[in-house]
Structure 1
């Protein structure tokens, strides 16, 4: 299935029958494998080894008392290392997100990917998009911000983590979370948002608009750190009109340190190397820009 929208497909996207894909089992607290709902049949995803790294699944107490699992990857050694929070797609913490954490760890960061959705269920092994959307829809703004805050608090108690140097990156659903978190938390020094929704869809109902608040387009003046948005020209769920609205909001707010780059010919999910939407040149360029921003803001 070619996933072309941030929160999953709509009815018109299904022009062929869904094929059940073999899935792995649960290992420990989270699904081991690539999310089958979006896995391309001919995918050859990047696999980053753990040599020179410490990788583990941890739990930490969220504000509601839930023991939230998170995947952590960091360089070996005492550190302390600057921190990057990784906000997942709608599929939660699966192999692609874990690999993102290892890539960041190879670059000198301590990366943490919280499993925001598992209070309800783990969406990673599922192929039913209706159920995935139901699970994701129950992860509200306050819950997610609380999970991030508690994650940063947990990291601040780790001797290998620099709690004063924090970045955040996220993909699809998690891209929107990046904008929200950078408007919420003064401790965050930089954010990189990969194709997260910026504004309600033109045909959104009042209920959908309310459920998605706060929208990034309304948060430009509240940003407490620079945010780089990385978006695709051909994203069917995030039209260029909403990108332009966000650019105008940033300009009105005087946020010259934040901006959005749009990649020609790129679809939604162009960084996701396990999907059919993967665009290697755009993904590589975006990753270089991510490292440049984080290195400048978190390693000084």
Structure 2
């Protein structure tokens, strides 16, 4: 299958008095494209997240990865050392659900201001902490497709405190695909079952995928990377975006 040539840039978009850093990747061809918001792990918008953003753009989407820690640590990005994990978790614990939702809505407004999006459908994909944020953001009416990768705490907590994010499931209006590793100690099988039960109870279009893998299996920079699971999950996420975002072939693609 042919892929799109892309261009990338670092951009700022406003949310009130806050300016949010983001990594933007989009096809160079003219036309209107659906958009996908990429939610980072606890390690910031680092090389892995930029790579995912570019991969999505090559499939014919405008992709943007906003910095979720903009209020706490502008420009933060890290690798996968124990020190980085400790720092990333510390920042994660200071985030708040309503701020994350507000920042996501600001990203949606920014995307809709781009000529290449121009009213097209919007989806999300998120990993680790970003997988939780993606499930949270699925409650926004503009989000039509959500790919949530091993988002811990969905069934038990929400950023900043309060009822767990799972309690908001009834507000979801799009389609949700959620990906988990059976060996992920941070997301017990019982919590995955709770997520599936909630999505079914609220009649949210969804699929749950389980792999014989650990947490972080999609990230090829981590020791837990599982290439077979990552490849299968990637194809399923693309299938979700192709169906739920109603992507149309664009002129100029070979």
Q: Which residue of 2 aligns with 1:190?
A: 145
How does the TM-score come out when normalised to structure 1?
Answer: 0.75
Rounded to whole Å, the distance in 2 between the matches of 1:93 and 1:209 is 21
Contact 1:216 1:246 in 2 (8 A): no
**Does the aligned pair in 2 maintain the 1:171–1:195 contact within 8 Å?**
yes
Partner of 2:217: 270
- Correspondent of 2:27 among 75, 78, 84: 75
What's the CA shift for 1:52?
1.9
Instruction: State the distance in 2 between where 1:99 and 1:117 align.
Output: 19
Once residues 131 and 296 of structure 1 are traced to their aligned partners in structure 2, the CA distance between those partners, rounded to angstroms, is 38
Q: Secondary structure at the match of 2:25?
A: strand
Shift of 1:213: 4.2
1:164 pairs with one of 120, 124, 133: 120
Q: What is the Cα-based RMSD across aligned positions, in Å?
A: 1.9
Q: Report the alpha carbon displacement of residue 216 of structure 1 after superposing the two structures with TM.
A: 3.6
111-120 or 279-288, larger mean C-alpha shift:
111-120
| Structure 1 position 170, deviation (Å) | 0.2
**1: distance between equivalents of 2:42 and 2:64?**
17
| Count of equivalent residues | 240
| TM-score between the two structures when normalised by the length of structure 2 | 0.88
2:51 is the counterpart of 1:96: no
Alignment partners' CA distance in 1, 2:84 and 2:54: 28
5+ unaligned residues in a row in structure 1: which ranges? 1-49, 201-207
For the residue of structure 2 that corresponds to 1:81, the secondary structure is: coil
Select between 84-93 and 119-128 the one with higher mean Cα deviation.
Answer: 119-128
Larger Rg: 1
Q: Are 1:258 and 2:198 an aligned pair?
A: no
Distance 1:182 1:218 in 2: 12
SS at match of 1:161: coil
Conservation of the 8 A alpha-carbon contact between 1:166 and 1:188? yes
